């Protein structure tokens, strides 16, 4: 007998569970982390592209990032339940019954990512991945997030570490251009997150998380976002200076920083949600654009396009 239209199937709970597990890995953030690592690989300018090593970098870095995200969900499950933006996540929403499984799964993925990088790539790649994961889980999530508004500043190193991993996987060391790129990613993280926190400051105040430079002064926090965004301009010029960029890439890196700054400047005088939303939405495409042009630079250099 066929099932009635719209009747639930036996596999529906399984599909829902897998969707929740995928949510726990923060696929958007994990994808961005992997792309930063890929950009670091190409920016290191290896003599040739070893696609096996590049694939192993993506695999190990992606697993470690997914595991770190799961651990972040686990340790933040109490405050997530008190915020409108996060209260429907799998753990506070009680869709995953055993949170200990998330703890074990996240730890296992992080350990497998670091261990796999050590065995298949090299110790420096493994160290880079481990530094990123431990910064995000221990330094940011466990130690600093609930205690100080410096949390996202220090925790921003977690986003820089994948660039170092990419360089280590490509050439076995951290090159100067990749260190400059890592600095740019580090400086990008605070204005990216503070723009979001300005929109959600009532949520963060409700659960007692100090996620802005001054939780009780959004005007001050908005101006700090503008200043921190402006720091990306000298960081871009530094990257242009130390990296062997084809001239179109050098121009594109600075131009992207200028466009992002223009989106953030209105926060100097206005800090309402629409203005903060524009700054936040602009931050993601900015970093993505920088990543893309860094990868393109490898191929332009191979074609003989002159450096800037």
Question: What SS3 class is residue 110?
Answer: helix
- Which is nearest to 40 in space by CA: 166, 142, 170, 135? 166
Average pLDDT over residues 245-274: 93
Q: Which pLDDT does position 2 carry in this prediction?
A: 44
Q: Which pLDDT does position 304 carry in this prediction?
A: 64
pLDDT in tens, 188-210: 999 999 999 999 999 999 999 99
User: In whole angstroms, what is the distance from residue 88 CA to residue 94 CA?
Assistant: 9
Predicted TM-score (pTM) of the model is 0.93
User: In whole angstroms, what is the distance from residue 230 CA to residue 239 CA?
Assistant: 15
Percentage of residues of the chain with pLDDT beyond 90: 78
Average pLDDT over residues 301-307: 67
Percentage of residues of the chain with pLDDT beyond 70: 94
């Amino acid at each position: 007998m066929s099932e009635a239209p719209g009747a639930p199937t036996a596999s529906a709970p399984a599909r829902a569970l897998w969707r929740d597990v995928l949510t726990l890995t923060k696929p958007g953030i994990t994808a961005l982390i992997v792309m930063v690592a890929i950009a670091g690989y190409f920016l290191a300018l290896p003599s040739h592209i070893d696609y096996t090593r590049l694939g192993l970098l993506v695999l190990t870095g992606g697993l470690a990032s997914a595991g770190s995200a799961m651990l972040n969900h686990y340790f933040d499950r109490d405050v997530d339940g008190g915020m409108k933006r996060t209260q429907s996540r799998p753990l506070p929403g009680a869709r995953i019954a055993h949170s200990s499984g998330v703890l074990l799964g996240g730890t296992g993925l992080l350990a497998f990512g670091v261990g796999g990088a050590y065995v298949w790539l090299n110790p420096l790649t493994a160290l880079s991945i481990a530094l990123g994961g431990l910064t995000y889980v221990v330094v940011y999530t466990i130690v600093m997030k609930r205690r100080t508004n410096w949390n996202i500043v220090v925790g921003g190193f977690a986003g820089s570490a994948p660039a170092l991993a990419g360089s280590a996987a490509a050439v076995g060391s951290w090159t100067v251009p990749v260190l400059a790129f890592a600095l740019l990613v580090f400086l990008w993280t605070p204005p990216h997150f503070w723009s979001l926190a300005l929109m959600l400051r009532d949520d963060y105040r409700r659960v007692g998380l100090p996620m802005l430079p001054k939780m009780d002064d959004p005007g001050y926090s908005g101006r700090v976002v503008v200043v921190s965004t402006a720091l990306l301009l000298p960081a871009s010029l530094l990257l242009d200076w130390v990296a062997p960029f084809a001239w179109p890439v050098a121009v594109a890196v600075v131009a992207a920083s200028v466009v992002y700054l223009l989106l953030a400047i209105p926060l100097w005088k206005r800090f309402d949600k629409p203005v903060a939303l524009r700054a936040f939405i602009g931050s993601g495409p900015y970093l993505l654009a920088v990543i893309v042009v860094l990868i393109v630079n490898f191929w332009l250099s191979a074609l003989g396009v002159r450096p800037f």
